Amino acid sequence: MAAGIDDIAIYIPRLYIDAADFARARGLDPIKLQKGLGVSQMAIVDANQDPACLAANACLTIMQKNKLSPDDIGRLYVSTESAFDESKAMNSYVIGMLEQVYGQGAFEHCGGVETKFACVSGSYALYDNANWIRAGEAEGKHALVVVSDIAKYDMGSSGEMTQGAGSVVMLLNDEPRLLEFDPKVTATSIKDEYDFYRPFGKETPIVHGQYSNLLYMIQVRKALEAYKKKVISSGLIRLKPDETILDHMDYINMHLPYSNMGKKALAYLVRHEWRQLPRWKKILEAIGMDEPRPKDPRGTIESVLADDEFMEKDHEFTKMFTKTKEYQEVYESKLSSSLIASSMIGNLYTASLYLGFRSSLEFEYQKGIDLAGKRVGFGSYGSGSSAMVFSGVIQPEYEQIVKNMNLEVEIGERRRLTWKEYEELHENKLSPEESMLHAKKEFVLVDVQTKTETRGERRYVFNE
């Protein structure tokens, strides 16, 4: 049985900090954010928003748009790394909010859990729900997989310039209009690591930034190797001797903690794939230098990062590689459109990859390209760490969905925060009733209990 993404909806908070304002306040060159990281604006949550209400708002949008009733939904999964409870799952809060609109008990049949594995857990949730559909367990019902996060880093840390917030929901079923997953090719890699993690009770993560960048690329490459074996052995794709698996992906969506990380990761994957092919000789001639090798090619990530001479040369080599006509062609045609939303919104952790997919659909369609039949590859990464590579094919009915996509309209009117407002929000100085915006037709947080016997209980309302 087929399974895939039938429709997709987003909810993005309307407050944002502009990269230029951020850079000025932190004494940074704004070009580092805008050009170096590809960050123009970062969405920031209001005092009356948490990841559960971002998720519920996205769910309500997709249900209303598709005129779905709760009976049509068999499963609702929420994937997040911004959990605020160690036991109660975020999907239960989301169901509680949706039942304010659809009636008490309307979702009581609807199974689901909250999944956690840094930014990759949404991909595991998609895979598990696709398999629920493939197994025939769905009995005609749809699954909702919501990825929702607030990417918040310590004040003054290097991660602070890669913040953001938002949620993406995907409606899955056995007759998907947008994308059907390729069966039996989903591949993973996993390793116990401490590149980025958030200990109990801490609101912001502990991050080893450059280590996490390199680990992301290594892990996705390993998952790509496993994916390659599966597509070849399953007969999905037949590779000619001068081809790589990436040649068979019309679009490549990468996890985007910031938009340029997609560029970096794609360059890394393409470089490793092309190295074994006849075309590499021509590339090396165009670059005019040999590919640098670390002092200890079998060393650890730490030893590679500490090898200053190698890092500098490798940086230079990568820059020149990304300027070659051949790489530029791949970048422009397969990745660039997926980065547009990320630079406007920032990091969405679990939701970053899927916001990128959504962005790619809208902006590729706007180029006048017929997307039907195009294969999309996904490179998902979660710190701690695990990667997942999988693919799917855009369906003939895709236009019904994609023709109405309009990122700016869907985000709505935004408000640029002053530095003082940003600091107040970051330091949680405001209570929900002191929110900066008073949104209509949205779920908002009204209260988090502090009394011993009810500590942590959250109340939400739907603002009519």
Task: Check residue 428 for interaction with ligand CAA (CB under 6 A).
Answer: no
Q: How many degrees, rounded to 5, is the angle at CA 221 between CA 215 and CA 225?
A: 145
Kindly indicate which of the ranges 157-165, 283-291, 357-365, 436-444 contains the residues binding ligand CAA, using the contact rule CB under 6 A.
157-165
In angstroms, give the least distance from the CB of 377 to ligand CAA: 18
Three-class DSSP category at 460:
strand
Task: Check residue 163 for interaction with ligand CAA (CB under 6 A).
Answer: no
Task: Check residue 381 for interaction with ligand CAA (CB under 6 A).
Answer: yes
Nearer residue to ligand CAA within complex by CB, 237 or 389: 389
Measured in Å, how far apart are the chain's first and last C-alpha atoms? 41
Q: 233: which 2 tokens?
A: 């052995």
Task: Check residue 350 for interaction with ligand CAA (CB under 6 A).
Answer: no
Task: Check residue 196 for interaction with ligand CAA (CB under 6 A).
Answer: yes
Q: Distance between CA 118 and CA 229 in Å, rounded?
A: 26
Q: Which of 132, 310, 349, 422 binds ligand CAA (CB under 6 A)?
A: 349
* Number of residues that this document lists for the chain: 464
Q: Measuring CA to CA, which residue among 75, 119, 178 is closest to residue 398?
A: 178
Q: Distance between CA 15 and CA 158 in Å, rounded?
A: 21
Which 197-236 positions form the footprint of ligand CAA (CB under 6 A)?
Answer: 207, 209-210, 212-213, 216
Nearer residue to ligand CAA within complex by CB, 193 or 447: 193
Which 7-26 positions form the footprint of ligand CAA (CB under 6 A)?
Answer: none
Task: Check residue 90 for interaction with ligand CAA (CB under 6 A).
Answer: no
Kindly indicate which of the ranges 122-130, 134-142, 253-261, 448-456 contains the residues binding ligand CAA, using the contact rule CB under 6 A.
253-261
Task: Check residue 383 for interaction with ligand CAA (CB under 6 A).
Answer: yes
Using CB positions, name the residue nearest to ligand CAA: 36
In angstroms, give the least distance from the CB of 108 to ligand CAA: 34
What backbone torsions phi and psi does residue 148 show, to the nearest 5 degrees?
-145, 130
Kindly indicate which of the ranges 55-63, 255-263, 268-276, 356-364 contains the residues binding ligand CAA, using the contact rule CB under 6 A.
255-263
Q: 403: which 2 tokens?
A: 């023709």
Place of tokens 């996705």: 220
The secondary structure of residue 198, as a DSSP letter, is -
Question: Is the separation of the CB atoms in 97 and 460 below 8 Å?
Answer: yes
Task: Check residue 331 for interaction with ligand CAA (CB under 6 A).
Answer: no
Burial degree of 333 (CB within 10 A; 0-12, 13-18, 19+): middle
CA 89, 431, 199, 454 torsion-angle sign: negative
In angstroms, give the least distance from the CB of 322 to ligand CAA: 9
Q: Which of 162, 188, 259, 359 binds ligand CAA (CB under 6 A)?
A: 162
Task: Check residue 29 for interaction with ligand CAA (CB under 6 A).
Answer: yes
The secondary structure of residue 119, as a DSSP letter, is B
Q: Distance between CA 242 and CA 383 in Å, rounded?
A: 33
**Number of residues in contact with ligand CAA under rule CB under 6 A:** 28
Task: Check residue 159 for interaction with ligand CAA (CB under 6 A).
Answer: yes
Question: Is the separation of the CB atoms in 318 and 309 below 8 Å?
Answer: no
Kindly give, in sequence order, each residue whose CB lies less than 8 Å from that of residue 264, ignoring residues fewer than 6 positions away. Answer: 213, 217, 318
Task: Check residue 191 for interaction with ligand CAA (CB under 6 A).
Answer: no
In angstroms, give the least distance from the CB of 8 to ligand CAA: 20
Three-class DSSP category at 396:
coil
Interacting residues with ligand CAA (CB under 6 A): 29, 31-32, 35-37, 118-119, 158-159, 161-162, 196, 207, 209-210, 212-213, 216, 255, 257, 261, 264, 315, 347, 349, 381, 383
